[in-house]
Structure 1
């Protein structure tokens, strides 16, 4: 079941790949931006997260806590996501993906943008992925959840490179972005 704005987000308690506890709802943050990405080595996802990381301070200053899920193991994620400035959670069994209605589809690869972003991701990271845990057909999704656990806005991606950028997150939180990527 897909969520819509106004729905209660599924509550959870999890640990990041570094062992830090993360909960939803989160009364400590004005909003939580949940990002559901594909497999840990996905060059499209990793390029996207590098661009989000460049704007992390601005997003955090707006009271938004970022949490990223991958349908990969902790071991695999530590190879690719250890340097990211936000909380990253391994969900190899896709428990959280299912709870939020995030799916996989052959449509994941049906965009020419994916080839370009994938190429840029490989260049930026200077490495190719060696394993795609849970396959390459995962679709991304984004959720902005308020401190009470209500979905404020959400996006279910139509292909692998269909997710919110930093400006989208800030707009949904009611902030005017300071600059454009």
Structure 2
């Protein structure tokens, strides 16, 4: 399935029950597809984005993160993140954007260091009673692959990446490198 080059206008409901528009006429959208609520790998990745949230906002980017878990599960595990979180337990958006579920998500050796770090971090958070333990049987399974899309206000997909394994997603620096240069007046994207 070919990756989308444009994203039709739509409204999505966040886990906070607010409505957001994609594309957003006022800013770029970084649409991230992650795995399940409580995923140790996703948690590490999203915490790296939360730490740099001011840099992301300064680049005029709105973070929208999609999980294949229910809103109730997302609130339990990820509700403290400063991003718009979207529950997609039926994987409707995943299919539309070509995000796959494959065994290689966890079997690829390139993901193993982050799996170990993520499980260790999650275990420490559970022991400190900061977070619940990751689910033993996550909604939608464990084998999802990540995906990243940078969407312009007019709906054009400026950049995209489908992950080859569970830890194959953009870093904040990679995301910021895709931001179009601003014109000399400082208004708008080229």
Asked if Structure 1 and Structure 2 have the same fold, meaning a TM-score greater than 0.5 normalized by the shorter chain, the answer is yes
- In structure 1, what is the Cα distance between the partners aligned to 2:177 and 2:153? 17
- C-alpha deviation, 1:41, in angstroms: 1.4
**Aligned alpha-carbon RMSD (Å):** 1.5
* Shift of residue 151, structure 1, vs aligned partner: 0.2
* Residue 117 of structure 1, CA deviation: 1.5
> C-alpha displacement at 1:122, in angstroms?
3.2
Match of 1:105 in 2: 102
1:3 matched to which residue of 2? Answer: 3
Q: Which runs of 5+ in 2 are unaligned?
A: 127-132, 182-190
TM (normalized to structure 2)?
0.85
**For residue 16 of structure 2, what is the aligned residue in structure 1?**
18
Q: Please say which structure displays the higher CA radius of gyration.
A: 2
- Is the Cα contact below 8 Å between 1:109 and 1:137 reproduced in 2? yes
Q: TM-score, normalized by length of structure 1?
A: 0.89
Q: Match of 2:92?
A: 95
Of structures 1 and 2, the one with the larger relative CO (CA 8 A, separation 6+) is: 1
- Contact 2:110 2:165 (8 Å CA) reproduced: no
Query: Aligned partners of 1:124 and 1:10: how far apart in 2?
Result: 38
Paired residues, number:
172
- Structure 2 equivalent of residue 151 of structure 1: 157
Match in the other structure for 2:175 = 169
Determine if contact 1:10/1:100 at 8 Å carries over to the other structure: no
After the TM superposition, which segments of 4 or more aligned residues of structure 1 sit over 4 Å from their partners? none
Distance (Å, rounded) in 2 between the aligned partners of 1:54 and 1:2 = 33
Match of 2:81 among 70, 75, 84: 84
CA deviation map 1:102-146 (0-9, x unaligned): 111111112334332223223334233123111111000000000
How far is 1:169 from its partner?
A: 0.5
- Contact 1:35–1:67 (8 Å) recurs in 2: yes
